[in-house]
Amino acid sequence: MLRWTLIFLIVAIVAGVFGFFGIAAGAASIAKILFFIFIVLFLVSFISGRRSRIE
């Protein structure tokens, strides 16, 4: 998921450089949403993985 975030961020930067500001804004917003989803999933997996298992 982090890979897709970086891809959309690069697309947004390249589109902004070439003057396609609508595409750049769309790609940047998708990158931001994917980044926050990545952070939430990372924190959930980190917290659930820290529990000690008593057998």
Return the structure tokens found at 48: 């659930």
The answer to whether residue 55 sits within a structural domain is no
pLDDT for the residue numbered 51: 65
Domain count along the chain: 1
Q: What is the pTM of this model?
A: 0.73
The answer to whether residue 54 sits within a structural domain is no
The answer to whether residue 53 sits within a structural domain is no
pLDDT for the residue numbered 25: 92
Asked if 38 contacts 2 with a C-beta cutoff of 8 angstroms, the reply is: yes
Residues in Cβ contact with 16 at an 8 Å cutoff, skipping those fewer than 6 apart: 24
Nearest CA-CA partner of 6 in 18, 41, 14: 14
pLDDT for the residue numbered 2: 83
The answer to whether residue 30 sits within a structural domain is yes
Domain, as residue range, for 8: 2-48
DSSP letters along the chain, please?
Answer: -HHHHHHHHHHHHHHHHTT-HHHHHHHHHHHHHHHHHHHHHHHHHHHHHHSPPP-
pLDDT for the residue numbered 11: 92
The answer to whether residue 39 sits within a structural domain is yes
- Could you say which residues of the chain have pLDDT below 50? none
